[in-house]
Amino acid sequence: MNRISLDGEWAFAVGDTCRFTGDKILLPGSMVTRGKGDAVTDKTIWTGSTYDSTYYFSPAMAPFREKGNIKYPFFLTPGTHYVGNAWYERDVFIPAGYAGKSVLLHLERPHIESQLWVNGVLVGADSSLVAPHIYDISDVMRPGYNNTLRVRVYNGVDNVCVGPDSHSVTDQTQGNWNGIAGYMYLEARPKLHVADMQIFPDVATKSIKVRMEFSQDLS
């Protein structure tokens, strides 16, 4: 078995400080799809810019500012909204056979920044919106035992330079959700493996150039 799925129930909490109080969430998924976060009101602070403020004072819009009937004319109107830190934690058993291997944790799409702790040890951080967040946990895992994985996801845009009203984060399009979408798994590889491979074709010479990067120095 080279892969262990991390799909399923995780402990869940929000806030700058991690305090789990018994709340759970199913991953992969977003806080919105799981009904987590704050109820949307006419006081909600959106990630996108408001170019037309008439919604907030126009009598015609008054019915859509009432609790239970909130509808924005220029934003997606999700059931909940949250911008900040969210915490996800679960235990996973790592087989004894993983000892001596490179073990990588793959998160296809955290939104937006992630940090990972394994057994209380900070492994690292990532913030890509277009590529999976991959963490090497080989040095902190305990093969043959349950291991505690804790992921912090932050969906504020202050550290992500995508520009104002970028479609990748703003409420006019997909929404600025917090969570982890796509695949989630642990993968065991031999210590020596291909870490990266790039292929460069040359039509004129009918040749290709292959550039490979290994997990260890072969010199």
pLDDT tens for 105-160 read: 999 999 999 999 999 999 999 999 889 999 999 999 999 999 999 999 999 988 88
Other Cβ atoms closer than 10 A to 69: 8
**175 dihedral zone (left: phi>0; alpha: psi -120 to 50; beta):** left
How far apart are the C-alpha atoms of 113 and 212, rounded to whole Å? 28
Tens-digit pLDDT profile for residues 56-97: 999 999 999 998 899 888 788 888 999 999 999 999 999 999
Say if residue 101's pLDDT is above 70.
yes
The pLDDT value recorded for residue 85 is: 98
Residue 161: predicted pLDDT:
76
What pLDDT does 215 receive?
Answer: 77
Domain limits of the chain?
3-38+81-192
The pTM of the whole model exceeds 0.85: yes
pLDDT at 110: 96
State the pLDDT confidence band at 14, using cuts at 50, 70 and 90: very high
Q: Give CA separation, 125 vs 96, 110, 136, 151, 176, in Å.
A: 26, 11, 11, 10, 20
CA angle at 152 for the pair 117 and 16, rounded to the nearest 5°: 115
Contact 71, 145 (CB under 8 A): no
Banded pLDDT at 182 (limits 50, 70, 90): very high
How far apart (Å, rounded) are the C-alpha atoms in residues 181 and 30? 7
* DSSP, residue by residue, 15-42: SSS----S-EEEESEETTTTT-SEEP-T
Interval 185-215: pLDDT, tens: 999 988 777 888 899 999 999 999 999 888 7
How many secondary structure helices (H) and strands (E) does the chain include? 0, 15
C-alpha pair distances (Å), 21 with each of 16, 27, 150: 15, 18, 15
Is 3-38+81-192 in CATH node 2.60.120.260? yes
